[in-house]
Amino acid sequence: MALLQGSNPSEIFNFRSPSFSKLGLDREKLSGDDLIGLMLKEPRLIRRPIVKIGPNVYFAASAENMAKIIEF
């Protein structure tokens, strides 16, 4: 997960995904390694879109936020 760049895996994890709800897990009890394992098994648990601009990575970036970032 090189895209995390040292960030907490919870920043990229989609806790609102129906796929996560179906698992019936308590998010407070999941470690960063647990979250990475779940995302590897079920890619729908990754918040999208993921946008990389230069060295920076943005998770679940809205069009409005991206416009601010790239200064349109």
pLDDT of residue 1: 57
Give the pair of three-digit tokens for residue 21.
């709800």
Structural domain boundaries in the chain: 2-70
pLDDT of residue 36: 94
Name, in order, each residue with C-beta under 8 angstroms of 15's C-beta and a sequence gap of 6 or more. 27
Please check whether residue 45 is in contact with residue 17, taking contact to mean a CB–CB distance below 8 angstroms. yes
Q: Which CATH architecture has domain 2-70?
A: 3-Layer(aba) Sandwich (3.40)
Q: Evaluate if residue 72 carries a pLDDT over 70.
A: no
pLDDT of residue 2: 73
Q: Evaluate if residue 32 carries a pLDDT over 80.
A: yes
Mean pLDDT value of segment 14-35: 95
pLDDT of residue 28: 96
Please check whether residue 61 is in contact with residue 49, taking contact to mean a CB–CB distance below 8 angstroms. yes
Q: Evaluate if residue 33 carries a pLDDT over 90.
A: yes
